[in-house]
Amino acid sequence: MNPLHEAFLAVLRSALRGQRFVPDRELNGEEWNTLLRMASEHKLLPLFFEAAQPLMPQTIAAPPKQQLRRQVILQTVRTKEFLELNRRLRAAGLTPLVVKGIVCRELYPKPDHRPSADEDVLIPPEQLEPCRRILEEFGMSTDETDPDAYEFPYRRAGSPLYIELHRSLFPPKSEAYGDLNGYFGDPFRLTSEVEVQGQQVLTMHPTDHMAYLIFHAFKHFLHSGFGIRQVCDILLFAERYDEFIDWEWVRLSCRSIRAEKFAAALFRIGTEHLGFAPIEPWQELSVDELPLLADVLGAGVYGSADAERLHSSAITLEAVASEKQERRAKNSVLLSLFPPAGKMEGRYPWLKERPWLLPAAWLGRMAGYLRKRRDTSAAGALQVGTERIALLKQYDILN
Is 152 a member of any domain? Answer: yes
**Domain finish residue from 173, 204, 235:** 204
Q: What is the pLDDT of residue 365?
A: 63
- 100 Rama sector, left if φ>0, alpha if ψ -120 to 50, beta otherwise: left
Q: What is the amino acid identity at position 235? A: L
Do 106 and 24 lie in a common domain?
no
Is 134 a member of any domain? Answer: yes
Do 80 and 180 lie in a common domain?
yes
Rounded Cα distance, 375 and 224, in Å: 17
Is 21 a member of any domain? Answer: yes
Which neighbouring-strand residues pair with 154?
A: 163
Do 27 and 95 lie in a common domain?
no
Rounded Cα distance, 293 and 304, in Å: 16
Q: What is the pLDDT of residue 329?
A: 46
Is 230 a member of any domain? Answer: no
Do 45 and 103 lie in a common domain?
no
Do 95 and 131 lie in a common domain?
yes
Q: What is the amino acid identity at position 104? A: C
Rg, Å, the chain Cα set: 22
**Domain finish residue from 167, 184, 204:** 204
99: domain CATH number is: 3.30.460
Domain that holds residue 18: 1-56
Do 45 and 78 lie in a common domain?
no
Q: At what angle do helices 290-299 and 260-273 cross, to 10 degrees?
A: 80
58 close to 24: Cβ distance less than 8 angstroms: no
Do 14 and 143 lie in a common domain?
no
Mean pLDDT per block of 10 residues along the chain (399 residues) reads 92 94 89 93 92 90 85 93 96 96 95 92 96 97 91 94 95 89 91 94 96 96 91 97 96 96 97 94 91 91 69 78 63 59 69 72 63 56 82 92
Is 94 a member of any domain? Answer: yes
Is 281 a member of any domain? Answer: no
Is 161 a member of any domain? Answer: yes
Do 36 and 91 lie in a common domain?
no
Length of the chain: 399
- 236 Rama sector, left if φ>0, alpha if ψ -120 to 50, beta otherwise: alpha
Task: Provide the whole-model pTM.
Answer: 0.85
Do 127 and 1 lie in a common domain?
no
Do 9 and 90 lie in a common domain?
no
8 close to 39: Cβ distance less than 8 angstroms: yes
Do 176 and 199 lie in a common domain?
yes
Do 48 and 115 lie in a common domain?
no
**Domain finish residue from 182, 204, 226:** 204
Q: What is the pLDDT of residue 369?
A: 54
Q: At what angle do helices 3-15 and 228-241 cross, to 10 degrees?
A: 40
Is 178 a member of any domain? Answer: yes
Q: State the total domains in the chain.
A: 3
Which neighbouring-strand residues pair with 162?
A: 155
